[in-house]
Structure 1
């Protein structure tokens, strides 16, 4: 927590001073002494006020003073607020290895399902674009709020060809480019199951993404036992490459995930949706402390008048 006017915190010094003055006043002997021969009898029948009635009103008063002093200092708290102009590019691998069925019903089908859930869960203000790639980027959509078009394009994707991850990331970066000096927050979500086979080096593109403050979140989809059928009916192993994906994420300032099944992939997208859709922002919370101070002050006045017949 921070304060816009921290000098007012000096008002908190009133609290210990007031407490000290109260203690001294209670220790001071009575100024006038009245002789009363039946003092013991009077003490036995007189009503006794417990420590709570004696100490609660001044305690509430001290709390009221502290709350008001903090409110005047205009405290700020860091909270997560929706990002209305944020953009995210979904970069989806459509190479032939995405036909593997180690993730049911297939890697690509599971990726589509999870991406659709991602589109449904993130804030409506978030702009979403799409890059689909195999030997190179073959589908590029700039960020938009037209979710229907993105979903339709995503669901029509087919898996075939090689893997050019670097070229796809470069296309995503270009789609996020803007001439606005106050560029809105942006991120890239890369979902792939293997190492790049052609095109630009993904690590070099990740460095450019970091310089542009665009983190890349990577998801390595599949299991080490994943296979696809070759031209002659032979099974070809297509294990994912989480190490290469993690390198891209770390260089860019993002985070790497592994999702070996469709359920885990859904959780990954839910996490990404909550992170990309909000940002940390300082908000003034003076009203809360002022309300607390007023309530404590009202409580001190009420209990003192009720129990002692005077204000504290």
Structure 2
């Protein structure tokens, strides 16, 4: 009913000078009480007053004044223009979704398979992004393929996700570089006089890069992550699978354990966040967090209404308390 009463700052701090007025009113109230008591001591028989005055009334007679003071203080906070953090949907951003399609993603340690789980995550992220975000899709194995260039037509990405095909080898670094190129291209078009729009990469992988095998190679994933950081593009990584993943390759069982340490390093180097999922519940948590990061931005919003509501509520309570306790409005 009241709304959040949190604050992160104030737009008109000089209104807090009104607190001195409130303090002055409290002082006048105290002086009035002292003066009233002196008059009673001078002209009244205190023994008789103590016997006839209701005990409950004496105990609660200051409540209306206290509520009135708190109401004035709450209203003062409202006048000072309190602000708080508010999340609003982005209407100008670029997101590149990178999904690994090498044979390691066919492991069934995540039901029904890592690749299907990655497709589900991709669809969930796509469905929940604000309509104004430009979303692109890259499928990568030995070479990256830009299936959808960044566009606000999110249905195109959904359709492409459903048609992913498995291919050999894994080149995470090349995929990141391809994503950065797509971001730069659309950023040049969308930027205009207000600068390039914010961008982010979402990387879904097992973390096993083998092309090139050295992640610090000029085409390696760590090198690409540093380039992303230099361009202000954080990478959110999702590692799919467990250490016990296996696949059938040429009639033999091949171990394909998830290597999330590499993906954690990619996220760290780029300034992004890393997630490791090996079940549906963890996957939902990961994509919900990523969706919040890339779909919304935090801004300072006005929060004075909540404080004014509190002030009015306390003022009404003060009036009612005055009528019920003292049979009059508080002075």
- Shorter-chain TM-score above 0.5: yes
Which of 281, 287, 291 is 1:269 aligned to?
A: 287
CA contact (8 A) 1:143 1:175 kept: yes
Match of 1:218 in 2: 237
2:100 counterpart of 1:81 = no
Change (3 A) 1:45 1:114: same
Please report the TM-score for the alignment, with normalisation by the length of structure 1. Answer: 0.88
Change (3 A) 1:17 1:88: same
Distance (whole Å) between structure 2 residues aligned to residue 41 and residue 226 of structure 1: 90
Match of 2:164 in 1: 157
Q: Compute the displacement of 1:75 (Å).
A: 1.1
Match of 2:265 in 1: 247
Secondary structure in 1 aligned to 2:62? helix
Q: Compute the displacement of 1:42 (Å).
A: 6.6
Change (3 A) 1:223 1:300: closer
Distance (whole Å) between structure 2 residues aligned to residue 292 and residue 71 of structure 1: 9
Secondary structure in 1 aligned to 2:204? strand
Secondary structure in 2 aligned to 1:258? strand
Distance (whole Å) between structure 1 residues aligned to residue 209 and residue 261 of structure 2: 12
Change (3 A) 1:229 1:41: closer
Please report the TM-score for the alignment, with normalisation by the length of structure 2. Answer: 0.84
Distance (whole Å) between structure 1 residues aligned to residue 268 and residue 13 of structure 2: 38
**Structure 2 matches for 1:99-248, cutoff 5 A?**
99-177=106-184, 178-179=187-188, 180=191, 181-198=194-211, 200-231=219-250, 233-248=251-266
Which range moved further: 206-215 or 237-246? Answer: 206-215
Change (3 A) 1:43 1:138: closer
Change (3 A) 1:176 1:35: closer
Deviations 1:144-180 (A, max 9, x none): 2322221111111111211111110111122222131
Q: How many residues align?
A: 309
Change (3 A) 1:234 1:66: same
Change (3 A) 1:104 1:30: same
Q: Compute the displacement of 1:225 (Å).
A: 2.1
CA contact (8 A) 1:257 1:268 kept: yes
Change (3 A) 1:300 1:134: same
Secondary structure in 1 aligned to 2:228? helix
Match of 2:78 in 1: 71
Segments of 5+ residues of structure 1 without an aligned counterpart are none
Segments of 5+ residues of structure 2 without an aligned counterpart are 1-7, 213-218
